[in-house]
Structure 1
Amino acid sequence: MNINFEGKTVLISGAAGSLGSQLVHDYCSSGVGTLILLDLDEKEEELINLKKQYGSQAKVFTYCIDLTSVEQIMQVVKQIEKDELSVDILINNAGINILSKVVETSELIWDKIIDLNLKGSFFLTKAIGESSLVENKGNVIFVSSQHGVVGNQMRAAYCSSKSALVGLVHALTAEWSTYGVRVNSIAPTFILNNKNEEFLLGPREKRNYLNKIPLHRYAVPEDVSNAILFLTSDKASMITGHNLLVDGGYTSI
């Protein structure tokens, strides 16, 4: 299946992470015209490296932002407009998880998770939608989680935030479909990368997590990126309002 994004402008939040950088690679490999990469100030060096690595394949613009701040979101979107960029595809990939029992979850922990995972995704989508995406009949993706579908210990705030993203998909589908905008979410299982490999491959985690995945492997960034590229391509032109599970069957048993 040939997927081509020639002439398209894709905005990726959390672009310096393992999934974000995989998306950058895969969109460039699929002919994307322009990439807009967002991440925190402390990830600026990683953003610069991505621009150096892929700047010969696509136009790459980078912006540092704290997505928990609506003010910063509005400032960055104004700068994107000043740079004469018009977004076709928005990937809400930025997110955080802090493991905490319910009775030990403080207001600070709750707010950190909800403010980035849900509030930040909502207000970035709202701002980009108003700026260009709705006019362009574009695509929106929210990176949810299998834990937005089923619960798990130590993740009350995280599960709540990821489940809420699926609800947001439904609401945006109801409002924006009339403009030709498609909105979907991706719900991956645990994504193995070089930062969490030692943890996820430990004996306790294999017993509690890996052994509960019917395909008996964790996802890797390519698994999730491939699904996102499909959903944002013309091959998925009749798919909207959907939460695509990329979980190896975790939620099915």
Structure 2
Amino acid sequence: MSSPFDLTGRRALVTGSSRGIGLAIARSLLGAGAQVVIHGRNAEAAETTAAALASEFGAGAVSSAGFDVTDEASVLEGVAGVEAVGPVDILVNNAGLQHREPMLEVSVQDWERVIRTDLTSAFLVGRTVARGMIGRGAGAIVNICSVQTDLARPTIGAYTAAKHGLRGLTRAMTAEWSGSGVRVNGVAPGYIRTELTQALVDDPAFNAWVLGRTPIGRWGEPEDIGGAVVWLSSDASRFVTGQVVFVDGGMTAVV
């Protein structure tokens, strides 16, 4: 019998996957047998990452796409290009950014930039891809949330609002699309060690706070997120929809 986690024959689009957590998710999906489309706003960066993965997983397993997830026209064109090659069975909305500034000082432009990148993009890409999934009667969407989906810290108000909103969007998508065979869930990473967070890892005070606040006692690694995404993308979770799974080392389970 084949494993319920086997993704052979399925095609996944992972936004923001040329590096960091998105890249680790792409590698996990490839390891489970999926074909993966590496995405980035910078098409050259996405192509370079895809070429590197192709040397490991095979040329037929990896392709790339470059488009702006915050712009509807770009999303429509980009997704059409991806689907011209083959249907998207799995969508991982991973693209996002952070902006650290007190809410009394943050500009409306920076606030809206974070909301558009971290929340609106999941709506734009999600509904564009969902149209094809609904037509086929099957599909899995995984929205990458955060511990800030439940919590809050000073200076990241826009990010916190966006990630809280992403949980609501996950539930709204579930309410509208799950009856058509499209399951929608979220994965909420804790503090993950990546090139973007390395400065925080290197900050003795912040590092001590993370280690003390996380029951497992370490930073997460990008690879820790991939397993949850594979599960939510596979038949192993076929009766799971509308949920946000926290992969945070226990951070949100304790006080």
Aligned-partner Cα distance in 2 for 1:65–1:19? 19
Aligned-partner Cα distance in 2 for 1:207–1:53? 35
CA contact (8 A) 1:15 1:47 kept: no
- The number of residues matched between the two structures is 250
Amino acid across the alignment from 1:107: V
**Percent of counterpart pairs with the same letter?**
26
Alignment of structure 1 residues 94-109 onto 2, 5 Å: 94-109=95-110
Look up the match of 2:50: 50
Match of 1:6 among 2, 8, 16: 8
1:22-42 deviation digits (Å, cap 9, x = unpaired): 12222222111x21221012x
Q: TM-score, normalised by structure 2?
A: 0.92
Alignment of structure 1 residues 29-108 onto 2, 5 Å: 29-32=31-34, 34-41=35-42, 44-54=44-54, 56=58, 58-83=60-85, 85-108=86-109
Amino acid across the alignment from 1:5: L
1:157-212 deviation digits (Å, cap 9, x = unpaired): 00000010100111111111111211100111111024433422421112333311
Gaps of 5+ in 1: none
Aligned-partner Cα distance in 1 for 2:179–2:81? 28
Aligned-partner Cα distance in 2 for 1:154–1:143? 21
Aligned CA RMSD, in angstroms, stands at: 1.8
Alignment of structure 1 residues 137-176 onto 2, 5 Å: 137-176=138-177
Aligned-partner Cα distance in 2 for 1:67–1:198? 27
CA positional deviation for 1:97: 0.6
Look up the match of 1:125: 126
Aligned-partner Cα distance in 1 for 2:82–2:30? 20
Relative distance call for 1:112 and 1:60 in structure 2 (3 A) is same
CA positional deviation for 1:59: 3.1
